[in-house]
Each structure stands twice: as structure tokens, then as C-alpha cells.
């Protein structure tokens, strides 16, 4: 398990990197300080990615940054991720969409 790589008692903030996958599906990677911890693909939406990533976390994780298409929309306590994942997913989508609208080349680079 990924927690074995951390010292006991250290609270960590991980990042959920969520991206479109194929055929309308999504994928996510959970990272900590740039190191991949675990991932999955073929999920039906951003909210499902958040829920799956949250379920896979251990006790040392206290919060997660949520990034959609490389754009971080916020940092959330684990309790928030579990309770309001639909709102967090919508916020991630809205944040990324707003940034892509003012940066036309950003979408081409994604």
C-alpha cells in the first residue's frame, strides 16, 4: 500500500489528476509530490473519479487537490470530498472551462 512509503503519523495532501480518457470516459491518477500512488481509467465522470480516488486513500491523507485537465480547482478535506463530490466535480469542470475560454491555446495543448 502506498502509505508504507510515508512515515507513520505524517498527514499528507495528495492530488487527484483527472482527465478525459476515451469514448466519454475519464481517468484519474492520485499523486503525492509528483509520485504516482494509484490510478484507474474508464470511469463515467469526474464525480466518479473523485469518489474512487477518495475510497483508495489511506489514513495519512487528510486532503486532496483536485485537478481537471491539469488545472487545480481547489484543495478539499477528505470529509468534503466524500460529502459533496458532485459539487466539487462541477467546480472542477467550471474552473477548467473558464480558463480554457480565456486561453484558447491551452485547450490545444491538453
In-domain check, residue 45: yes
Q: Distance of alpha carbon 73 from its chain centroid, rounded?
A: 9
Q: Which residues make beta-bridge pairs with 67?
A: 17, 72
Q: What confidence category does residue 51 fall into, taking pLDDT thresholds of 50, 70 and 90? A: very high
Rounded-to-integer distance, Cα 45 and Cα 74, Å: 18
Q: Is residue 73 part of a domain?
A: yes
Count the domains in the chain: 1
Please state the rounded mean pLDDT for residues 67-93: 95
How would residue 9 be classed by pLDDT, with cut points 50, 70 and 90? low
* 108 domain residue, yes or no: no
40-43-48-53 Cα dihedral, nearest 10 degrees: 0
CB-based contact 23:40 (threshold 8 Å): no
With a cut of 90, say whether residue 106 has pLDDT above it: no
Domain that holds residue 95: 2-101
Residue 26 has pLDDT above 50, yes or no: yes
Residue 98's nearest CA partner among 68, 76, 64, 66 is: 68
pLDDT digits (tens, 9 = 90+) for 11-25: 899 999 999 999 999
Which residues, 6+ apart, have CB-to-CB distance to 19 below 8 Å?
Answer: 26, 27, 28, 68, 69, 70
pLDDT at residue 108 greater than cutoff 60: no
Q: Check which CATH number belongs to the domain holding 22 and give it.
A: 3.30.420
Task: With cut-offs at 50, 70 and 90, classify the pLDDT of residue 58.
Answer: confident
**Confidence (pLDDT) at 11:** 81
CA dist 47 and 64 (Å) reads 14
Please indicate, yes or no, if residue 109 is contained in any of the structural domains. Answer: no
Amino acid at each position: 500500500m502506498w502509505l508504507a512509503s510515508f512515515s507513520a503519523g505524517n498527514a499528507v495532501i495528495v492530488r487527484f489528476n483527472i482527465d478525459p480518457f476515451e469514448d466519454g470516459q475519464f481517468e484519474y491518477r492520485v499523486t503525492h509530490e509528483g509520485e504516482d500512488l494509484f490510478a484507474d481509467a474508464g470511469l463515467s465522470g469526474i464525480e466518479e473519479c473523485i469518489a474512487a480516488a477518495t475510497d483508495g486513500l489511506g489514513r495519512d491523507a487528510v486532503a486532496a487537490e483536485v485537478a481537471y485537465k491539469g488545472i487545480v480547482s481547489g484543495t478539499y478535506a477528505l470529509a468534503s470530498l466524500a460529502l459533496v463530490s458532485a459539487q466539487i466535480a462541477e467546480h472542477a469542470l467550471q474552473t477548467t472551462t473558464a480558463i480554457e475560454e480565456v486561453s484558447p491555446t491551452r485547450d490545444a495543448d491538453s
